[in-house]
């Protein structure tokens, strides 16, 4: 098997299996949302170190308990390399301290059909943390699932539209989509709240078109804003048009330093 081995264990989350299991379990126990969603199409989850954003992520992942999915499509931004396209890992599995998760190669290949900008490769996957940090949470709340790991090298409108269309054609009731994104970076907590509340409103209004416009016009920031929009548009193409922000926080909630923070948000896309 060609396995993408863990790259950020020991940095973004614990490298020791039992500590990782215990840390995630504690976060899930302390973040049980009051809301319940019968049919969940997708989640937005942050991707900083667990000590900073893990609790916000746990609010979203808690919603998956007692649910079953055969495949989880994880969409990530590319932090370490730019490439003009959308890369699906060309191997057989991803590894974390909790074990390996196989890739749904059939679904991955179906996403490539008639596309000139989606491809199988290693680009974007070599050291990317934003995708990897989602997997231990999924391993903690789901059983017997595969993944389709996707890194967007470019989040321009052409790429967003293409990914949304392709996802809408391959997903079914046994598929979950996870969009990995943090919010604003290195503003005061007050300014971060102003910027991140724009993203929150667009998600709550299920308005991905204006979310893209706000990102382009710098009315808000999200390193995975394009892929959030792609997930929401894919949902809309399946006649799913409800989304809700579960939790929002910033790094200052942990460090106590509110002068320069990173914002985090978790959300759910669902149907009645």
The DSSP secondary structure of the chain, one letter per residue, reads --EE--SSBTTTB-SSHHHHHHHHHHHHHT---S---SEEEEEEE--S-HHHHHHHHHHHHGGGTT---SEEEEEEE-SS---SSEEEE-SSEEEETTEEEEB-HHHHHHHHTT-SSEEEESTTTSS-HHHHTHHHHHHHH-SS-EEEEEEES--SHHHHHHHHHHHHHH--TTEEEEEE----EEE-HHHHHHHHHHHHHHHHTT-HHHHHHHHHTTSS--TTHHHHHHHHHHHHHTT--EEEEEEEEETHHHHS--SSEEEEEEEEEEE-
Mean of the per-residue pLDDT values of the chain: 97
CA–CA gap between residue 179 and residue 160 (Å, rounded):
12
- Give the model's pLDDT for residue 35: 85
CB neighbourhood size of 33 (10 A): 16
User: What domains lie within the chain, and their CATH numbers?
Assistant: 3-257 (3.40.830.10)
- Quickly tell me which residue has 């204006």 as its tokens: 210
- Percent of the chain residues topping a pLDDT of 70: 100
- pLDDT score at 34: 83
Region 192-202: mean pLDDT is: 98
Q: Are 189 and 252 in contact (CB under 8 A)?
A: yes
Q: What is the pLDDT of residues 4-38, one digit of tens each?
A: 999 999 999 999 999 999 999 999 999 987 888 99
Instruction: State mean pLDDT over 219-242.
Output: 98
Q: Which pLDDT does position 135 carry in this prediction?
A: 99
pLDDT exceeds cutoff 90 at 270: yes
What would the pLDDT profile of 140-188 be if each residue is shown by its tens digit? 999 999 999 999 999 999 999 999 999 999 999 999 999 999 999 999 9
According to the model, what pLDDT value does residue 143 have? Answer: 96
Per-residue pLDDT reduced to its tens digit, 49-96: 999 999 999 999 999 999 999 999 999 999 999 999 999 999 999 999
pLDDT of residue 33: 79
């Amino acid at each position: 098997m060609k396995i993408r081995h863990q790259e950020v264990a020991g940095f973004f989350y614990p490298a020791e299996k039992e500590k990782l299991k215990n840390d995630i379990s504690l976060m899930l126990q302390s973040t049980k949302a009051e809301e319940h969603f019968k049919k969940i199409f997708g989640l937005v989850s942050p991707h900083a170190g667990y000590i900073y954003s893990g609790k916000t992520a746990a609010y979203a992942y808690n919603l998956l308990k007692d649910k079953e999915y055969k495949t989880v499509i994880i969409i990530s931004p590319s932090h370490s390399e730019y490439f003009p396209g959308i890369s699906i890992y060309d191997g057989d599995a991803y590894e974390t301290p909790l074990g390996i998760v196989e890739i749904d190669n059939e679904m991955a290949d179906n996403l490539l059909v008639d596309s000139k900008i989606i491809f199988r490769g290693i680009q974007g996957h070599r050291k990317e943390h934003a995708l990897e940090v989602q997997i231990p949470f999924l391993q903690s709340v789901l059983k017997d699932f595969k993944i389709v790991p996707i890194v967007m090298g470019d989040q321009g409108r052409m790429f967003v539209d293409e990914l949304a269309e392709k996802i809408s054609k391959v997903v079914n009731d046994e598929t979950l989509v996870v969009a990995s994104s943090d919010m604003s970076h290195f503003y005061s907590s007050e300014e971060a709240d102003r910027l991140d509340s724009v993203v929150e409103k667009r998600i709550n209004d299920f308005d991905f078109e204006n979310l893209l416009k706000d990102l382009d016009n710098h009315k808000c920031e999200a390193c995975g804003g394009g892929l959030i929009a792609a997930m929401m548009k894919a949902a809309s193409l399946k006649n799913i048009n409800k989304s809700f922000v579960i939790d929002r926080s910033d790094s200052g909630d942990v460090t106590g330093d509110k002068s320069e923070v990173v914002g985090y948000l978790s959300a759910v896309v669902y149907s009645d």
